[in-house]
Amino acid sequence: MKLALLVTTVALLATSLSARAQNAQSPIRLTRVQIKDAEQKLARLGYWTGPIDGVFDVASQSALMTFQKWEGREITGELSTEELEAIGSSTAPKARELGYAHVEVDIDRQVLLLINDAGNVRVLPVSTGSGKTFVDEDQNSVSYTPRGRFVVYEKHVGWEYGPLGALYFANYISGGVAIHGSKNVPNKPESHGCIRIPVFAAKEVSKVMTLGLIVLVYDKVSFVSALDWVKNPKSKPSADIE
């Protein structure tokens, strides 16, 4: 009798522990209303969400991951109640410089900021140079994204293809380095030097990135201001040179 009772107790305990483990491993699914709330809050903060429709699609996930990058959170791409609370208590990303329309690329955070004259910011994820070596035209090169201040000097429409990959609506800022759409924008630096952005936003970004637009690319030790270019436009490089 005692043995049977002990076996039953052990079985019930095992079942309870198993259920708890399953619940801990299974994230709580958010409702469409909660997802739409998250999209609205992310959009108000400046993150590029795509349609605000309560559908957690590729653009919504991209916006969440950009938020996680900016805030230094774990980059999961998973919308949970915890992430929803974090979004609600966060402040909007701020540009390093204000007062003029330009683009900033934060290498450390792996994000791109589009800033207009009024100082409004829209933020996208990027993937920049990996630092790895590669061979291009029989020469060894390093996958490096140059830091500094640049201007958009050349633009291409649609897709272009080369030995190093495909570029969508490329905006060239230095040599062969461009800000361009890509179907592959990982959460870490993985490009040959270009600045990849999600393909779904590339066409609209390219409309904003007109010839001559200033682009600041920096990490925590290499920021270079372009305010002197703004105050004295003649000192700024023209858009027809690299």
Instruction: CATH number of the domain at 229, please.
Output: 2.40.440.10
- Specify whether 84 is located in the same domain as 106: no
The answer to whether the beta carbons of residues 230 and 99 sit under 8 Å apart is yes
- Specify whether 70 is located in the same domain as 130: no
Residue 139: band (very low, low, confident or very high) from pLDDT cuts 50, 70, 90: confident
- Specify whether 159 is located in the same domain as 182: yes
> Could you say which of 45, 61, 88 is where a domain stops?
88
Most confident by average pLDDT, 132-136, 159-163, 220-224: 220-224
214 within a domain of the structure (yes/no) = yes
Taking 80 as the threshold, does the pLDDT of residue 3 lie above it? Answer: no
What pLDDT is recorded for position 27?
55
How many CA within 13 A on the CB side of residue 67?
A: 31
56 within a domain of the structure (yes/no) = yes
106 within a domain of the structure (yes/no) = yes
The pTM (predicted TM-score) of the whole model is: 0.86
Calculate what percentage of the chain has a pLDDT beyond 70.
Answer: 87
- Specify whether 168 is located in the same domain as 220: yes
14 within a domain of the structure (yes/no) = no
> Could you say which of 88, 113, 132 is where a domain stops?
88
Domain span at residue 68? 32-88
pLDDT per residue over 17-31, tens digit each?
A: 444 444 444 456 889
SS3 (DSSP) at 32: helix
- Specify whether 50 is located in the same domain as 168: no
* pLDDT, greater one: 21 or 165: 165
Q: Which residue has the tokens 């270079």?
A: 224
Which of 230, 224, 203, 233 lies closest to 105 in space, CA to CA?
224
27 within a domain of the structure (yes/no) = no
20 within a domain of the structure (yes/no) = no
What pLDDT is recorded for position 4?
47
- Specify whether 41 is located in the same domain as 150: no
Question: Residue 226: CB partners within 8 Å, gap ≥ 6?
Answer: 97, 102, 149, 214, 216, 236
Q: Which residue has the tokens 């933020």?
A: 123
In whole angstroms, how far apart are CA 185 and each of 78, 106, 212, 232, 234?
Answer: 17, 15, 26, 36, 36
Provide the domain count of the chain.
2
